[in-house]
Amino acid sequence: MKLVQLLGSKSKSDFAIYLGHTIAALGKRVLIVDSTNNNEYQHAFIQLEGNEHLYEFQDVDILINTKSLQELITKLSNANETLENYDCIIVDANDNSTIINDWPKFQHVLYISDNTRFTITQDIAILNDYVDSTGTTVLKRVHFESAHKIPNDYLDVLINNRLEFKLIDDPLEYDDLEHKLRNFMQHEGVIPYSKLPKDYRRLLKSIVTEIYDIGNKDFDASTHRGPLGFLFGRFKSKVTSNNETKLINHVEETNLDEQTQPLLILKNTKQSTNTELNKPDDSNMTANKKNKEAVGG
């Protein structure tokens, strides 16, 4: 199991979901743990039902409001899940909770930054706590440019050069499309990965190939998705009341239980999808008819 820590006060929920989605494309099961102090995932991406905490968002799972390893284990157990069920766990924190609380050593730590003053001033405390707690002096960095650029060493000076930052890829240039895609994903519940700029997808690819120590060709060969890969891209609760059967992640690999209401919903969804796919396109038929008339057919 890969354990990945995302540090920084910048909003990272969309980045975490894109990263999780990229890893899931390798056939891995991914969990994103919201350890932020403002419950960003809960308010932006998830519709709560009762006391549930674990949700499936397209092909990644999201566990909300979790500040420690023990909380993570307990909430997974309540959802009939375990740590071992996941190939990768991504923990998103915008304060020092994942540094000072009871978490195991993260195999991969990414500092996500931008040029906004709010982010920089908040990150000073996080970065100093990170150095004090881990003794680490080198940190991998993913940087998003803002409309206003600042000197590259500005943050280094503010933290007294205590850390050496290693950029995984070139900084991502400011682009309004990023905000549009984030809003789309929040409201539609669909991950618009194919709409991301090429440099953003290249960055995600660089991170994932490094995490799993694979080459670009192996990555490309492993990430081809089937034609039905995104048909079930709406988030679903991972837990039902009274310990009923949980929703299935991979419907095509599971025998549908006609006594279980969530599975009936998915089954009907699949049937209706197939019906739509097989339904003739009236507009095309009309166009073909006109073409025939035009040539005397």
Task: Give the three-state DSSP class for 151.
Answer: coil
Query: Is residue 203 one of the residues assigned to a domain?
Result: yes
Tally of domains in the chain: 2
Predicted local distance difference test score (pLDDT) of residue 294: 38
Q: Please give the Cα distance from 268 to 252 (Å, whole number).
A: 13
The reply to whether 64 falls in a domain is yes
Model confidence at 229: pLDDT above 50: no
CATH code assigned at 131: 3.40.50.300
**Residue 83, in any domain of the structure:** yes
- Asked if residue 33 belongs to a domain, the reply is yes
Domain co-membership, 65 together with 178? yes
pLDDT tens sequence across 151-189 = 888 999 999 999 999 999 989 988 889 889 999 999 999
Instruction: Say if residue 228 is in the same domain as residue 282.
Output: no
**Do 107 and 144 reside in the same domain of the chain?**
yes
The pLDDT of residue 232 is: 38
Q: Is the pLDDT of residue 47 over 50?
A: yes
More confident residue, 253 or 97: 97
Asked whether residue 98 is assigned to any structural domain, the reply reads yes
Check whether residue 260 and residue 138 sit in a common domain: no
Same domain for 238 and 261, yes or no, is no
Q: Which residue has the higher pLDDT, 164 or 235?
A: 164
Look up the domain containing 293 and give its range: 255-297
Residues 276 and 136 in one domain: no
Q: State whether 223 and 271 are in the same domain.
A: no
Give tens-digit pLDDT for 16-31.
Answer: 999 999 999 999 999 9
pLDDT of 68 higher than 80: yes
Residue 250 lies in a domain: no
Pair 139, 232 in one domain: yes
Burial label for 294, CB within 10 Å (0-12, 13-18, 19+), is exposed
